[in-house]
Amino acid sequence: MKIGELADRTGVSVRALRYYEEKGVLTPERTPSGYRIFAESDIRTVAHIQTLLAAGLGMDLIGEILSCLSGESLLLDDCRERLEAERRRITGDIDQLAHTRSLLDGLLATTRALSRTP
């Protein structure tokens, strides 16, 4: 399928798909005239990219993760270690956000109590 069809089927802009290709996380075939031809499996790859971007991961790490998902990496232990490290980082971020939310909840409770005092 051509890039426009992939864009339509994934809901991702053509510009973003070109960026993914530039970063090496999408690797379409090329026709003799230079048109990009994407495989059906690229739909799933784009979905993975979108999910990982939404989780806050950078394109370099996404490239590493995608190679682990496809089994292209010869060093699967390295993939596991890298994924575990990223999971620890995300867990730390979540813990920090939960702590910040608790602080905000406390402040909101205090301001509500103060606004009700005559």
**Weakest-pLDDT range from 3-7, 81-85, 102-106, 113-117:** 113-117
CATH number at 1-73: 1.10.1660.10
Q: Return the amino acid letter for 84.
A: E
pTM equals 0.70
Q: Give the pLDDT band (50/70/90) at residue 118.
A: low
Helices 3-10 and 41-54 pack at an angle, to 10 degrees, of 50
Q: What is the pLDDT of residues 81-107, one digit of tens each?
A: 888 888 898 899 999 999 999 999 999
Residue 68 structure tokens: 């682990």
Domain range list for the chain:
1-73, 75-118
* Helix ranges, 1-118 (H): 3-10, 14-22, 41-54, 59-70, 76-116
Lowest mean pLDDT, pick from 3-12, 15-24, 53-62: 53-62
CA dist 48 to 53, 56, 59, 95, Å? 9, 13, 12, 24
Question: Locate tokens 């048109």: which residue?
Answer: 35
